[in-house]
């Protein structure tokens, strides 16, 4: 490796990408389990991968909550006033939603659905 290679912008990022990619191919279950542990699981999986070609089931028995991961956990931290969604419509309308505002809107929507008789599942 030469000094000019190391000094190029993005060199280390590309190098790290290829290292991660290689690990994901050589040891997929180990790699993805390690990555999945970075998320907050409501229930940890029993098995990383159940492979019965041509079907694959990942994180069997595990339970996640997408809304919690994307909105709820940020709405109650220092990120609450940070931008969660920047919306731009036609003809140039814009709306900026912070995590705390998005949290309130999501809960309003959930309340409407619940009042209409919709439940989990």
Residue 13 lies in a domain: yes
Report pLDDT digits (tens) over 52-104. Answer: 999 999 999 999 999 999 999 999 899 999 999 999 998 889 999 999 999 99
pLDDT at 9: 67
- Judged on CB neighbours under 10 Å (0-12, 13-18, 19+), 93 is exposed
Q: What is the DSSP code string of 24-59? A: HHHSHHHHHHHHHTTS--SB--SEEEEEETTEEEEE
Give one word for 82, left, alpha or beta, with left for phi > 0 and alpha for psi -120 to 50: beta
Residue with tokens 């996640």: 64
pTM: 0.72
Of the three residues 15, 31, 60, the one that is the final residue of a domain is 60
**121 domain residue, yes or no:** no
How many folded domains does the chain comprise? 2
The fraction of the chain above a pLDDT of 70, given in percent, is 93
| Calpha distance 22→2 (Å, rounded) | 23
């Amino acid at each position: 490796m030469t000094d000019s290679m190391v000094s190029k912008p993005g060199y280390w990022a590309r190098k790290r990408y290829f290292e991660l990619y290689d690990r994901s191919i050589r040891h997929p279950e180990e790699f993805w389990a390690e990555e999945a542990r970075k998320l907050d699981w409501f229930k940890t999986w029993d098995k990383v991968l159940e492979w019965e070609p041509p079907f694959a089931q990942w994180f069997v028995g595990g339970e996640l909550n997408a809304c919690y991961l994307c909105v709820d956990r940020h709405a109650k931290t220092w990120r609450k006033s940070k931008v969660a969604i920047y919306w731009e419509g036609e003809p140039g309308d814009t709306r900026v939603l912070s995590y705390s505002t998005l949290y309130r809107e999501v809960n309003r929507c959930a309340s409407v659905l619940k009042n209409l008789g919709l439940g989990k599942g």
